[in-house]
Structure 1
Amino acid sequence: MNPEAQQDVSVSQRIRMMFYMMKPNETSFQILEEVPDYVKQATPFFISLMLLELVISWILKGKPPGRLDDALTSISAGVFSRLPSLFSRSIELTTYIYVWENYRLINLPWDSPWTWYLTFLGVDFGYYWFHRMAHECCLLIEFYSTDKVLSLNCPGREIKEVNIMWAGHQTHHSSEDYNLSTALRQSVLQIYTSWMFYSPLALFIPPSVYAVHLQFNLLYQFWIHTEVINNLGPLELIINTPSHHRVHHGRNRYCIDKNYAGVLIIWDRIFGTFEAENEKVVYGLTHPINTFEPFQVQFHHLVYIWTTFWATPGFFNKFSVIFKGPGWGPGKPRLGLSEEIPEVTGKEVPFSSSVSHLLKIYAVVQFALMLAFYEETFADKAALSQATLLLRVCFIILTLTSIGFLLDQRPKAAVLETFRCLVFLMLYRIGHLKPLIPSLSFAFEVTWVAQWLNVYLWLRL
């Protein structure tokens, strides 16, 4: 995909692509290099729609659609998940191209509307089965300690779920809020398993067509993460809507293993996984992770698998830890015991940061500056050296981690923030980072030091 192709995409197209309302003749490309980076171009609309949701929620409900700390964590996960693309093409495209170049059976015309619509169905069908495989019966993540594992079961159903795949998807379900920022809470690991479900399309569909629909399928799923849209009437029968997807994100018993669709809800209706929204949905994992630190949000289930793998005796049992359900244990059914599924009372209180308002303002300011560096890095990546790219990525990750530490009120938060500020000044001095307004560089540097001193005193006191 080519970021430089973005000048060929009109404002009207950028709006319509968020809702999969593009036409074949305006999104068909002969070669992969001509395909615009639609996801990158959608960034302003992510922000605009989140602000619009905030206003509408305040008008309708008298309150924001979620919590600031949770929204920052969700956007952090989205940033985290996109960083690897600075260095290489995604594995989803790399494996697809390999299959296409070596094993394709036929070559469907890239400019045919029939190829376009077939790809739309194929990508959406592949997403349904990937999504279902990733966490059927394991929306309820187990809480584990050194002596006990709480598990779950899906009674009376063939199991199509793999623990290692859930590790790459649970990040998206860890939010206890449900708003447009939740859509951005993506896993850095997920693409390393999802590619398998799209690869069969490479036997006959050109990579350029696939790359378009892979992006549109993802973009469509942004707007359905909201509570400000209720029922869409007859459309509820055909497409995935906010109401259907709220069920998918719920941890109520009636929500488990339901509504895996990406764009078309007909897949759930056909394969028996559809459930309409009725009682109030409680969001998140059954046992919340209670942290805003990005590495734990991304990798805590992988750590669980690793710990369980080494603690479980026997080769075949270790193999089962990876490829059976997350609730499995020696002597248990594939997904554990159904009686261990916690009940939802409706009185659950989402985990929130208890830091002061001033410290939250500081975190937001630093987060906004990080986003500016993030956007600038993606815009200039072709002109930046690999060393500069690597240093910038490390600084972005360090910033996200430090903000997570601040919100969690970790004991080492002050030390980490001090280190981060020193790293920034060092990178700024040697030219790997630059202020947004070069003429104000000295004032920028002084302000940065002053901000650090303030937050250091807040944390120490």
Structure 2
Amino acid sequence: MNPEAQQDVSVSQRIRMMFYMMKPNETSFQILEEVPDYVKQATPFFISLMLLELVISWILKGKPPGRLDDALTSISAGVFSRLPSLFSRSIELTTYIYVWENYRLINLPWDSPWTWYLTFLGVDFGYYWFHRMAHECCLLIEFYSTDKVLSLNCPGREIKEVNIMWAGHQTHHSSEDYNLSTALRQSVLQIYTSWMFYSPLALFIPPSVYAVHLQFNLLYQFWIHTEVINNLGPLELIINTPSHHRVHHGRNRYCIDKNYAGVLIIWDRIFGTFEAENEKVVYGLTHPINTFEPFQVQFHHLVYIWTTFWATPGFFNKFSVIFKGPGWGPGKPRLGLSEEIPEVTGKEVPFSSSVSHLLKIYAVVQFALMLAFYEETFADKAALSQATLLLRVCFIILTLTSIGFLLDQRPKAAVLETFRCLVFLMLYRIGHLKPLIPSLSFAFEVTWVAQWLNVCLWLRL
């Protein structure tokens, strides 16, 4: 996909692509290099729609659609998940191209509307099965040894179809809010398993067509993460809607393992996984992770699998830990026991940061500066060396981690933020960061040091 192709996409097209309302003749390309980076071009609309959701929610409900700390964590996860693309093409495209170049059976015409619509169905069908395999039943986990029960209380664990695949998807479900920022809470690991479900398309569909629909399928799923849209009438029968997807994100028992659709809800209706929204949905994992730190949000379930692997006796049992559901244990069904799903009471209180409003403002300011740096890095990546890219990525990750530490009020938060501020000033001094107005360089440095001193005082250093 080519970021340079963005000038060929009009504003109206950028709006329509958010809802999969593009036409075949607008989005058909002969070679992969001609395909625009639609996801990158959609970034301004992510922000605009989130602000619109905020206004509408305030008007209709008198309150914002979620919590600031949760929104920052969701956007952090989105940033985190996109960083590997600075260095290489995604594995989804790499494996697809390999299959296409070595094993394709037929070559469907890239400019045919029939190829376009077939790819739309194929990608959405592949997404449904990937999504379903990463799920299936949320259960409490107990592993039985020969003489006693070993209970492993891992936060956020869920009983899913394939444990290792759930490790790459649980990030998206870890938010206890449900709003447009939740759509951005993506896993950095997910693409390392999802590619398998799309590769069969490479036997006959050109990579350029696949790359278009892979992006549109992802973009479509942004707008359905909201509570400000209720029922869409007859459309509820065909497409995935906010109502259907709210059920998918719920931890109520009636919500478990339902509505895996990406764009078309017909897959769920055909394969028996559809459930309509009825009672109020409580969002998040059955065992909330209670953190805003990005590494835990991304990798806590992988750590859990590692711990469980070594704690489970027997070679074949260890193998099962990886490839059976997380609820499995010796003596249990492959997917665990459904009666062990924690009951939702409706009185659940989402985990929130207890830091002061001033510290939250500080975190937002630093986060905004990081986003500007992130966007600049993606815009300039063709002109930057691999070493410079790596340095920038490390700083972005450091910033996300430090903000997570601040929101969690970790004991080492002030030390980490001090180190991050020093790194920031170093990058500024050697020219990797620039103030928006060059003539205000000195004021920029003074303001930054003052901000750091303030955060130290707030944390009672």
TM over 0.5, yes or no?
yes
Counterpart of 1:115 in structure 2 is 115
Q: 1:200 to 1:144 in 2, by over 3 A?
A: same
Q: 1:162 to 1:241 in 2, by over 3 A?
A: same
Report deviation, 1:443. 1.3
Q: 1:431 to 1:384 in 2, by over 3 A?
A: same
Q: How big is each residue's C-alpha offset from its partner over 1:386-438, in whole Å with a ceiling of 9 and x where there is no partner?
A: 11111110000000000000000000000000000011111222222322333
- Matched residue of 2:149: which SS? coil
Equivalent pair of 2:140/2:340 in contact (CA under 8 Å): no
Report deviation, 1:192. 0.1
Q: How big is each residue's C-alpha offset from its partner over 1:123-152, in whole Å with a ceiling of 9 and x where there is no partner?
A: 000000000001122487899999999999
Q: Which moved more, 1:77-86 or 1:142-151?
A: 142-151
Q: How big is each residue's C-alpha offset from its partner over 1:341-366, in whole Å with a ceiling of 9 and x where there is no partner?
A: 11100000000000000000000000
- Matched residue of 1:332: which SS? coil
Does residue 1:288 correspond to 2:288, yes or no? yes
Report deviation, 1:385. 1.2
TM-score normalised by the chain length of structure 2 = 0.96
Counterparts of 1:3-402 in structure 2, within 5 Å, are 3-138=3-138, 161-402=161-402
Report deviation, 1:314. 1.3
Inter-partner Cα distance in structure 2 for 1:154 and 1:37: 38
Q: How big is each residue's C-alpha offset from its partner over 1:169-189, in whole Å with a ceiling of 9 and x where there is no partner?
A: 000000000000000000000
Q: Which moved more, 1:134-143 or 1:433-442?
A: 134-143
Report deviation, 1:295. 0.2
Equivalent pair of 2:139/2:337 in contact (CA under 8 Å): no
Q: 1:155 to 1:430 in 2, by over 3 A?
A: closer
Report deviation, 1:113. 0.2
Inter-partner Cα distance in structure 2 for 1:156 and 1:373: 32
Equivalent pair of 1:154/1:335 in contact (CA under 8 Å): no
Equivalent pair of 1:391/1:432 in contact (CA under 8 Å): no
Report deviation, 1:154. 19
Equivalent pair of 2:145/2:313 in contact (CA under 8 Å): no
Inter-partner Cα distance in structure 1 for 2:226 and 2:157: 30
Equivalent pair of 2:142/2:329 in contact (CA under 8 Å): no
Q: 1:174 to 1:155 in 2, by over 3 A?
A: closer
Q: 1:342 to 1:58 in 2, by over 3 A?
A: same
Q: Which moved more, 1:136-145 or 1:95-104?
A: 136-145
- Matched residue of 2:444: which SS? helix
Inter-partner Cα distance in structure 1 for 2:281 and 2:16: 29
Report deviation, 1:110. 0.1
Q: How big is each residue's C-alpha offset from its partner over 1:259-304, in whole Å with a ceiling of 9 and x where there is no partner?
A: 0000000000000000000000000001100000000000000000
Equivalent pair of 1:151/1:337 in contact (CA under 8 Å): no
Q: 1:56 to 1:142 in 2, by over 3 A?
A: farther
Equivalent pair of 2:18/2:219 in contact (CA under 8 Å): yes
Report deviation, 1:328. 1.1
Inter-partner Cα distance in structure 2 for 1:110 and 1:233: 35
Structure 1 stretches of 4+ moved >4 Å: 139-160
| Count of residues in Structure 1 that have an aligned counterpart in Structure 2 | 461
Inter-partner Cα distance in structure 2 for 1:175 and 1:223: 16
Inter-partner Cα distance in structure 2 for 1:292 and 1:155: 13
Inter-partner Cα distance in structure 1 for 2:72 and 2:22: 31
Inter-partner Cα distance in structure 2 for 1:278 and 1:71: 26
Inter-partner Cα distance in structure 2 for 1:152 and 1:120: 42
Q: How big is each residue's C-alpha offset from its partner over 1:69-116, in whole Å with a ceiling of 9 and x where there is no partner?
A: 000000000000000000000000000000000000000000000000
Report % sequence identity.
Answer: 100
Inter-partner Cα distance in structure 1 for 2:448 and 2:155: 56
Q: 1:157 to 1:142 in 2, by over 3 A?
A: closer
Equivalent pair of 2:251/2:344 in contact (CA under 8 Å): yes
Q: 1:384 to 1:240 in 2, by over 3 A?
A: same
Inter-partner Cα distance in structure 2 for 1:79 and 1:421: 20
Report deviation, 1:160. 8.1
CA RMSD of aligned residues (A): 3.2
Report deviation, 1:48. 0.1
Equivalent pair of 2:143/2:152 in contact (CA under 8 Å): no
Q: How big is each residue's C-alpha offset from its partner over 1:195-250, in whole Å with a ceiling of 9 and x where there is no partner?
A: 00000000000000000000000000000000000000000000000000000000
Inter-partner Cα distance in structure 1 for 2:287 and 2:246: 18
Inter-partner Cα distance in structure 1 for 2:114 and 2:237: 24
- Structure 1, unmatched stretches of 5+, are none
Report deviation, 1:338. 2.6
Inter-partner Cα distance in structure 1 for 2:269 and 2:143: 32
Q: Which moved more, 1:159-168 or 1:311-320?
A: 159-168
Equivalent pair of 2:140/2:157 in contact (CA under 8 Å): no
Equivalent pair of 1:137/1:153 in contact (CA under 8 Å): no
- Matched residue of 2:160: which SS? coil
Equivalent pair of 1:152/1:327 in contact (CA under 8 Å): no
Report deviation, 1:117. 0.1
Q: 1:85 to 1:351 in 2, by over 3 A?
A: same
Q: 1:449 to 1:344 in 2, by over 3 A?
A: same
Equivalent pair of 1:238/1:265 in contact (CA under 8 Å): yes
- Matched residue of 1:135: which SS? coil
Equivalent pair of 2:156/2:287 in contact (CA under 8 Å): no
Q: 1:31 to 1:99 in 2, by over 3 A?
A: same
Inter-partner Cα distance in structure 2 for 1:136 and 1:337: 12
Q: How big is each residue's C-alpha offset from its partner over 1:299-339, in whole Å with a ceiling of 9 and x where there is no partner?
A: 00000000111111211111001000001112222122333
TM-score normalised by the chain length of structure 1 = 0.96
Q: 1:27 to 1:149 in 2, by over 3 A?
A: farther
Inter-partner Cα distance in structure 2 for 1:131 and 1:139: 18
Q: Which moved more, 1:70-79 or 1:132-141?
A: 132-141
Equivalent pair of 2:239/2:266 in contact (CA under 8 Å): yes
- Structure 2, unmatched stretches of 5+, are none
Equivalent pair of 2:156/2:289 in contact (CA under 8 Å): no
Q: 1:189 to 1:156 in 2, by over 3 A?
A: closer
Equivalent pair of 1:293/1:405 in contact (CA under 8 Å): yes
Inter-partner Cα distance in structure 2 for 1:204 and 1:320: 35
